[in-house]
Structure 1
Amino acid sequence: MASVTLTPQRPRRRARTAEPTPYDFRRPIQLSREHQRTLQLGFDGFARQATTVFTSSLRTVCTVALVGIEQRTYAEYVDSLGVSTYLTLFSADPMPGTGVLEIPLFATMSCVDHMLGGPGSDEQPDRPLTEIEDGVIRGLVERLLGEMRYSLEGIVALEPTVTGVEYSPQFAQVAAAADVMVVVTFDLRIGERGHRMSVCLPFSGLLPHLTNASGSGAVSDRERAQRAESATLLQAQFNRVPVAVAVRFRPISLDPADLAELRPGSVVRLTHPASAPLDVTVAGTTFAHATAGARGQRLAALIVTTPEENS
């Protein structure tokens, strides 16, 4: 019978799932994962509601899906947009600053075409909207802002109000070029055609509300139950941790010469009164008092109250 020799195989390295991205130390990331998670819960709900708004308004199958939430400067956000687009500027009360709802101009024209009974063809004019077209799309935008207010009410009591419309990102003076913004990107599909839609909010105004929402538990019911269970388990483990407890007389001070003269049979005079209870300490901290005694064949300490505690 032939013998078979097995050679140990080296464990395979886990396949790399993402490429490393450069980190700019001049502009540290301020949007934490907890903040992103809080925003994701809110804007996921907004995407679902926006799907209903587009589908009912255009009378065609539309979908809106959340793509990502990023921290960018306003200059970077403007550079990521097309030369011409449809920017709705809105006040973000109670947050200071101005927010932006951006829908590509082609998608905006397609929406107007559908709402006026057209087929929403693949050829749309690249020009600013007329007064009639602007009035038609304004109703859709206001419905979207209303759904945003509803979806973000767990984070901030937002009251968005349209303050203006701009077609050139370079002329939209929303914030300074270096101001940090929160950019939320969505995939908008009208029929079979996909578009990129985005929301831009000032980070400085949003941060206090994110901190409060994250601390107050702006999470799902399942996550809240998991956190409560983890806290209960942690408390149970703490109650089982052994702690070294000492019962001591009050300390005294001795000179090095007195310590050197100590011999078996030497008597050390204590300052602890004979009627005073002993100190019960943990890690040098006194938390109770006791009197010495015995229980069976072992010494014991009976916890007692002190005159100061009785008064």
Structure 2
Amino acid sequence: MEPMGEGVTITSSPVQTGRMAARRGSTGPQPYDFRRPIKLSREHVRMLQIVFETYARSCATLLTTRLRAVSQLSLLAIEQVTYDEYISTLSSPTVIGSVTLAPLPGQVLMEVPLGSMMASLDHMLGGPGGIQPTRPLTDVEIPLVRNLLEKMLAELSYGFEQLVPTNPRLGALEYNPQFVRAVSPGDAVVVASFEIRVGDTENLASICLPFTTIMPVLRSDNDDVKLSEEEQAVRRNAHRKISDGLSAAPIDVAVKFRAVRMRTDEIVDLQPGDVVRLHHPVDEPLTITVNDHTFAHAVPGNQGTRLACLVVPEPHEENH
């Protein structure tokens, strides 16, 4: 975990951990998952921090003016998690809007807790705000909510102007996070968490951006950064060490016949001594695979007393 500014936490731990740490203002250690290394560089994180802090300031002004109630929106954390981890931390019901940020690819999620949205509706309709009932929005309330979210998205476009001009478009609204599928469960996403206050109502809101949406912008913006000779030497040394380490890393290689399809009862009834007929032509080479990816072909044989295989050209190459 790395503090990047007052009240802002940058972390790759699960969303809820990061949100709670940001709320407490903690700068203590956070769990690090070595199976999912951080992909965001320091420069990328700083760029996103500027974008979302700009959005938070302008959106807070919008809410105060629009709702005629003192409102605040403060950036708490920018986190790298999987999509499944993000969805699992959201309460249900909540208000989730599917957003496109043309010309950026992919689908962005904008989540505002139902309590904050109901309080905003109450203020817009002349009420005092405060604690509101937890229920789905009515047909009369939905257009008001969509209009407010579209105004907030316009401020998000203003924040992204420093990286890339965007044209946000609000799509469908959903109440149950489990019904929203922006990317695959294991895909990496960047989540910006905010503390949203509308009058006396305080909750946590969030914006979820798939890595495939935001990373091309961050990388292209960072391509013009010039490194000193010392930094270039460090980078070359690191590249060499990684290359040497990968070259010496052991991997499991398999030589395979064609797969055989069998019924469940045939597999259950197999006994020692039974013969399973292979449907691999005798003139067709075997495949050499790593993690089920074919990278070469071979014919079986032996070297002395040990089984071996001889790597041969691909079948279509022989035909040519």
Q: TM-score w.r.t. structure 2 length?
A: 0.61
1:148 aligns with 2:137: no
Secondary structure of the structure 1 residue equivalent to 2:84: helix
2:139 is matched with 131
1:173 aligns with 2:181: yes
1:35 aligns with 2:40: no
Give the alignment of 1:259-278 within 5 angstroms.
Answer: none
Q: 1:83 aligns with which of 92, 117, 131?
A: 92
CA contact (8 A) 1:38 1:214 kept: no
Looking at structure 2, the residues matched to 22 and 55 of structure 1 have their Cα atoms a distance apart, in angstroms, of 37
Rg (Cα) greater in structure:
1
Q: 1:21 aligns with which of 26, 30, 35?
A: 30
Looking at structure 2, the residues matched to 45 and 157 of structure 1 have their Cα atoms a distance apart, in angstroms, of 15
- Between the aligned residues of both structures, percent identity stands at 41
Looking at structure 1, the residues matched to 54 and 183 of structure 2 have their Cα atoms a distance apart, in angstroms, of 27
Looking at structure 2, the residues matched to 104 and 69 of structure 1 have their Cα atoms a distance apart, in angstroms, of 18
Structure 1 residues 28 and 132 mapped into 2: Cα distance closer, same or farther (>3 Å)?
same
Could you tell me how far 1:22 is from its partner in structure 2? 2.8
CA contact (8 A) 2:116 2:201 kept: no
Q: 1:63 aligns with which of 72, 80, 90?
A: 72
Looking at structure 2, the residues matched to 158 and 177 of structure 1 have their Cα atoms a distance apart, in angstroms, of 26
Q: 1:45 aligns with which of 51, 54, 64?
A: 54
1:97 aligns with 2:96: no
CA contact (8 A) 1:53 1:140 kept: no
Secondary structure of the structure 1 residue equivalent to 2:195: strand
CA contact (8 A) 1:154 1:213 kept: no
Q: Which amino acid aligns with 2:182?
A: V
Looking at structure 1, the residues matched to 102 and 38 of structure 2 have their Cα atoms a distance apart, in angstroms, of 25
Looking at structure 1, the residues matched to 130 and 200 of structure 2 have their Cα atoms a distance apart, in angstroms, of 11
1:13 is matched with none
CA contact (8 A) 2:130 2:201 kept: no
CA root-mean-square deviation: 2.0
- Gap regions ≥5 residues in structure 1: 1-16, 218-226, 232-311
Structure 1 residues 18 and 110 mapped into 2: Cα distance closer, same or farther (>3 Å)?
closer
Q: Which amino acid aligns with 2:142?
A: D
Structure 1 residues 179 and 141 mapped into 2: Cα distance closer, same or farther (>3 Å)?
same
Give the alignment of 1:5-16 within 5 angstroms.
Answer: none
Q: TM-score w.r.t. structure 1 length?
A: 0.62
Q: 2:211 aligns with which of 200, 203, 210?
A: 203
Could you tell me how far 1:189 is from its partner in structure 2? 1.0
Could you tell me how far 1:216 is from its partner in structure 2? 4.5
Secondary structure of the structure 2 residue equivalent to 1:109: helix
- Gap regions ≥5 residues in structure 2: 1-25, 229-320
Give the alignment of 1:107-118 within 5 angstroms.
Answer: 107-118=116-127
Number of residue-to-residue matches in the alignment: 204
Could you tell me how far 1:156 is from its partner in structure 2? 2.2
